[in-house]
Amino acid sequence: MSRVLLVEDDLAVRRAVTMGLKRLGHDVEAVADGRDALDSIIASPPDIVVLDLMIPGINGIEVCKLIRARGTVPVVILSARDHDIDIVAGFDAGADDYCVKPASAEVIDARIRAVLRRSTGPTTLDHDAHPAEVFGDLAVDRASLRVRKGGAEVSLTPTELRLLLFLSSQLDHAFSRQQLLEHVWEQSYYGEVRMVDACVTRLRAKIETDPRHPVHLQTVRGFGYRFSA
Average pLDDT over residues 115-144: 71
- C-alpha 106/C-alpha 92 separation (Å) is 26
Instruction: Determine the pLDDT at residue 72.
Output: 81
- C-alpha 84/C-alpha 170 separation (Å) is 31
Can you give the pTM of this predicted structure? 0.67
**Is the pLDDT reported for residue 193 higher than 90?**
no
pLDDT per position as a tens digit, 58-101: 999 999 999 988 888 999 999 999 888 888 888 888 888 899 99
CB-based contact 79:86 (threshold 8 Å): yes
pLDDT per position as a tens digit, 40-60: 999 999 999 999 999 998 999
What mean pLDDT, rounded, does the chain reach? 88
- C-alpha 60/C-alpha 209 separation (Å) is 30
Q: In this predicted structure, which of 35-44, 62-71, 153-162, 189-198 has the lowest mean pLDDT?
A: 189-198
- C-alpha 136/C-alpha 138 separation (Å) is 5
Sequence-distant (6+) residues with CB within 8 A of 45 are: 71, 73
**Is the pLDDT reported for residue 126 higher than 50?**
no
Instruction: Determine the pLDDT at residue 124.
Output: 43
**Is the pLDDT reported for residue 137 higher than 80?**
yes
pLDDT per position as a tens digit, 95-123: 888 999 999 999 999 999 988 887 665 44
- C-alpha 30/C-alpha 113 separation (Å) is 18
Q: What is the DSSP string of 77-89?
A: EEES--SHHHHHH
Average pLDDT over residues 160-177: 92
Q: Amino acid identity, residue 206? A: K
Instruction: Determine the pLDDT at residue 187.
Output: 64
**All domains in the chain, ordered by first residue:** 2-119 (3.40.50.2300), 133-227 (1.10.10.10)
